[in-house]
Structure 1
Amino acid sequence: MNIDQNTLSAFLTELMGESGVISETADTSRYTTDWSGERLGEPLLVARPRSTQEVAAIVGFCHRHQVPMVAQGGHTGLVGGALPDAERPELVISLERLNRIRDIDPLNFTLSVDSGCVLQTIKDAAAESDCDFPLSLGAQGSCQIGGNIATNAGGLNVLRFGMMRQLVLGLEVVLPDGRIWNGMHALHKDNRGYDLKQLFIGAEGTLGIVTGAMLKLFPKPETSRTALVAVPDVSAALALYAQARRSCCDLLCAFELIPRACLELALEAAPSLSDPLESAYPVYVLFEVAASGPVDLDAMIEHLFEKGMEDGHVLDGVLAANDTQANRLWQIREYMVEGQQHRGEHLRTDISLPISSLSEFYDEASRAMIARSPDTEIIAYGHIGDGNLHFNLLPPPDLDLAAKQALLHELEGELFAIVERYQGSISAEHGIGRVKQAPFLDGLSDLERELITGLKTLFDPDDLMAAGRILPRRA
């Protein structure tokens, strides 16, 4: 950095006005903490641009004067990727004011937006045009689409609609030197050589700052049905999933695994919720089907229930009679996450495995964790229709904070070793950021590390943009 903070502040204020710059510590505090509650360093300043051109001007200035920078969205990340660095102060570029719905084309089933648009705003805009943007996350009321793209977000509907990568047709990106790449194509088929947009999806802001996106829309579902089913074990849940894929075809949107311990955590976090079935069962499955045409979804689910009971895979179940009941069932899934937060220090993981290996992995990993720490509580749930499991751990409550952290670190290493043996991934959708960097690097081959490092060096030779995320910061 070859300028002082006052010079940087003066440039930003001239560019965006006083409302576009935040400098006081009391005002910058919300830009230093994400949803996980973690806090790292203090930003040099917070810049709040309103347009792609302002983002480009800011990034170009930082490039010329060697100012480190990091883009920030809705503060819902879980791997420390968008938090300002604790060792090398960075300019935080908040995209919260870059929040326009640019255009919607219901005939082409596309929607173009600024990257700071909140996901729920996008979903509402699509619905007003009788369309659907299917990305569905617990944080959709606050997360921004730019962050969803940067982390290749997944969520509940990956089973039917794919990850964020499958929902993006085009991007607009400010590169680390301030140039603007305009790839805002609305083409559903485009085979002109390298697909550059894919380099930025999942790159966590290390190769450029996404400022706009052309998103793929779908017909708005006319009917949907949500059901919660009790099953004997994880193996039965997977057998039921296989049957559901065959019985419901492409109408199956979500298929969530919820062991009893997870359901109890949700009831603990939200006393207004009630146990959905009369008896307690070891494992539950929460699933949803939706259709846009004249499809009898009730008959489809009834057949699935009957076949599951015949095969011994279904013990009990409930089909939501209306949207209110469906929402209450989905609240169980949402409040499980809140319940973990209320318990304090815990291990969050976001792993994925081949679907056919999930049951065997679940059993082996559970045995390994219990053998090492019998009083640690396993909270393992996830989107098993796409192989994504959140195998989380609550440490014994009688340990002090340091002992909890040490134990969880040890258990994480053992868990990731099992994931590797099953040829899985340590990050299904949250990304790498800082939190998962060490195990991510450990799992790379020499060639993979060479290629990834080469990409970063090509796009950002000075290592100014989101340095230290995914790859270590260069000295």
Structure 2
Amino acid sequence: MNPVHDAPARPAAPHAELHRRLHGIVGDAGMVHDALAQAPYLRDWQGRWQGRAALVVRPADTAQTSAVMRVCHETHTPVVTQGGNTGLRGGATPDASGAQIVLHTGRMDRIRGVDPVNLTLLADAGVTLARVQQAAQDAGRSFALRLGSEARCTIGGNLATNAGGATGMRALTLGLEVVLPDGRVWNGLHRRHQDHGGLDLRQLLIGSEGALGVITTAMLQLQPRPAAVATAWVGAAQLDALVALQDALRARCGGCPAAFELMSGEAVALVLAQVPGTRAPLAGRHAFQALIACSDTCAGPLAGPLQAVLAEESAAGALGEVAFGSTPAQVQDFWRLRQGIAEAQLRAGRTHQHDVWLPLSRLSAFVAQAGAVLRRQAPDVRLLCFGHLGDGSLHCGLLVPDAARAAVDDAALHALGKALHALATEHGGSAVAAQGVDAPRRHAHAIEADLLMRIKQALDPNHLMNPGKVF
């Protein structure tokens, strides 16, 4: 893949025989021919990554996907699987060779069934997360995953990246149906978490970034719909205060908060400046802010315990300001602000996203030192931190305002990214916590790298699936 500001080469002409065979499988509705129509499939939504493709194919179901993969296996055609194309790291964008095909799952968009008694939902890979949430709600249940891109991101992409905060897709998935690189179909659509029959292929395939096969269907785990929900927005001068607050809420409000979304004050200010219709929940400016939602399946005054904890933390000086979502409109405004960060980055300039995971005890030190690195090496670049505090996942956006583009090139941003990754490792964390990868992943241990490559070789010996990303 090339950064989009490099002039892309002319698209390669599709191989006539490959085109004929794939068209025979998916028909006109499953082929994207026109160069203008292909353009959205060849670049990421941020406009950072630009690729080329021999063809864009949109199979309608598992059978068509299997037939497409058999042809690609026979012809040694590389495949990049793409869903909602909402990733931040180019994991679903083809490279610049023009030899790969994009297999888009958007036509596989059926919710096949909801079983409220057994708390399961069966969905095809192209169903958006928002539709899954709505179907669960309509059945009197809930689906625990919340993401800023939920209106566009798909279940297949969520599974491929193991998306999620405190509750990720590995914990929310009971079974999968997967088309393997040679076209065979593995049906692992179980309805149970407990399976003592041996190795767990489901967990191997979740988070594999499309490098081991194409996920076509998933059996998802639902939860009882919360009888009580309480939401608040808080501001603090110190990140450690929010980490301590989360611990207090776990002890006092019935386990883990349903959501604890961390944002730096600069990220919040950017959304307010760039995204129309957003409102500041707090009167003052705070270095760190968080959206908190607590829920319980038992009816009761959950807002009371939340308010009590926040009042105690405020009295102790840990929190600077608190606002409660007392109406549905206020809660919606809170979520709109959190979900607007990616849009704000796109409007404000060029952003390079780097995702890291940190132990919660090291999160504050990492953010402070990361800010110092930027001030020293690239003072024109703004560091925007946000993520799921529940599991230590942190998105670090390196925003280059339009006015500073000439002073900060890709080489400088790449060096900053490497510095952030090294800093995360120093603090006992790791790089690339979620959302795809823009280069082959470097594994810290030789044995780990060897074992993973052996798995890749066993399932995809020709290295046709999303080459150059995870492996």
Q: Which category describes the TM-score, using the shorter chain as reference length?
A: over 0.9
Q: Is the 8 A contact 1:205 1:465 kept in 2?
A: yes
Give yes or no for contact 1:115–1:144 (8 Å, CA) kept in 2: yes
Among 24, 29, 44, the alignment partner of 1:19 is 29
In structure 1, how many angstroms separate the alpha carbons of the residues matched to 2:276 and 2:130? 26
Hey, what does 2:17 align to over in structure 1?
Answer: 7
Is residue 303 from structure 1 mapped to residue 299 from structure 2 by the alignment? Answer: no
- Over residues 221-243 of structure 1, what are the superposed CA-to-partner deviations in whole Å (9 max), with x where a residue is unaligned? 23312111122211222222221
For residues 302-451 of structure 1, the aligned pairs below 5 Å read: 302-395=307-400, 398-401=403-406, 403-432=408-437, 435-437=438-440, 440-441=441-442, 443-451=443-451
CA contact (8 A) 1:251 1:290 kept: no
Say whether the 8 Å CA contact 2:230–2:325 is kept in structure 1: yes
Aligned 8 A contact 1:345 1:405 in 2: no
TM-score (norm 2): 0.93
Matched, 1:280 2:290: no
| Structure 1 residue identity aligned to 2:459 | F
SS of 1:403's equivalent in the other structure is coil
Q: Secondary structure at the match of 1:408?
A: helix
Contact 1:225–1:326, Cα closer than 8 Å, also in 2: no
Alignment-mate amino acid for residue 51 of structure 2: G
Structure 1 Cα separation of the partners of residues 184 and 454 of structure 2: 20
> SS state of the match for residue 29, structure 1?
helix
Contact (CA 8 Å) 1:41, 1:89: kept in 2 or not?
Answer: no
Aligned pairs (5 A) from 1:234-253:
234-250=239-255, 252-253=257-258
Q: Distance in 2 between matches of 1:402 and 1:231?
A: 33
Contact residue 395 and residue 408 of structure 1 kept, 8 A:
no
Aligned counterparts of 2:396 and 2:48: Cα–Cα separation in 1: 20
Pairwise CA distance, 1:402: 7.1
Number of residue equivalences: 459
Q: 2:214: which partner in 1?
A: 209
1:460 pairs with 2:470: no
Q: Once the 2 structures are TM-superposed, how far is the Cα of residue 152 of structure 1 from its aligned partner?
A: 0.7
Tell me the distance in 2 between the aligned counterparts of 1:251 and 1:425: 23
Q: CA deviation at 1:171?
A: 0.5
Match of 2:4 in 1: none
Query: CA contact under 8 A between 1:21 and 1:46: conserved in structure 2?
Result: yes
Instruction: Give, in angstroms, the shift of residue 209 of structure 1.
Output: 0.5
Deviation at residue 436 of structure 1 after TM alignment: 4.2
Aligned match for 2:153, one of 143, 146, 166 = 143
Deviation, structure 1 residue 92: 1.6
2:54–2:98: 8 Å Cα contact kept in structure 1? Answer: no
SS at match of 1:146: helix
Q: Is the 8 A contact 2:254 2:296 kept in 1?
A: no
User: 1 CA distance for matches of 2:402 and 2:131?
Assistant: 40
Query: SS at 2:409's partner residue?
Result: helix
> Is the Cα contact below 8 Å between 2:349 and 2:400 reproduced in 1?
no
2:171 match = 166
Query: Which segment is superposed worse, 300-309 or 80-89?
Result: 80-89
3-state DSSP of counterpart to 1:382: strand
Q: Give how far 1:372 is off.
A: 2.2
Query: Which residue does 1:289 correspond to in 2?
Result: 294
User: After the TM superposition, which of the residue ranges 163-172 and 278-287 deviates more from structure 2?
Assistant: 278-287
Contact 2:52-2:98 at 8 Å conserved across structures: no
One-letter amino acid of the structure 2 residue matched with residue 338 of structure 1: E
1:346–1:408 contact (8 Å) kept in structure 2: no
Pick from 106, 110, 113: which aligns with 2:116? 106
Equivalent positions of 1:88-107 (< 5 A) are: 88-107=98-117
Aligned amino acid, residue 454 of structure 2 = G
Structure 2: 5+ residue runs without aligned partners? 1-13
What do residues 87-122 of structure 1 show as CA deviations (whole Å, max 9, x unaligned)? 251122111111111122111101111111111111
Counterpart of 1:453, as a letter, is M
Whether contact under 8 Å (2:136, 2:222) holds in the other structure is yes
Cα distance 1:451–1:369, how it changes in 2: closer, same or farther (>3 A)?
Answer: same
Deviation string, structure 1 residues 414-466 (Cα, Å, up to 9, x no partner): 1111111112111112132xx143xx31x522212111211111111111221
Aligned residue among 195, 202, 205 for 1:197: 202
Deviations 1:240-272 (CA, angstroms, capped at 9, x unpaired) = 222122111325111122232122111101243
- In the alignment, what sits opposite 2:268? 263
Name the % identity.
36
The alignment status of 1:42 with 2:52, answered yes or no, reads yes
The equivalences for 1:226-241 within 5 A come to 226-241=231-246
The answer (yes or no) to whether the contact 1:351–1:389 under 8 Å persists in 2 is yes
- 1:262 alignment partner AA: A
SS of 1:86's equivalent in the other structure is coil
Could you list the per-position Cα deviations for residues 186-209 of structure 1 after superposition, in whole angstroms to 9, with x for gaps in the alignment? 123211110111111011111111
SS at 1:207 equivalent: coil
Q: Deviations over 1:327-355 (max 9, x none)?
A: 11122212222221112122311111001
Contact 2:61–2:108 (Cα < 8 Å) also in 1: yes
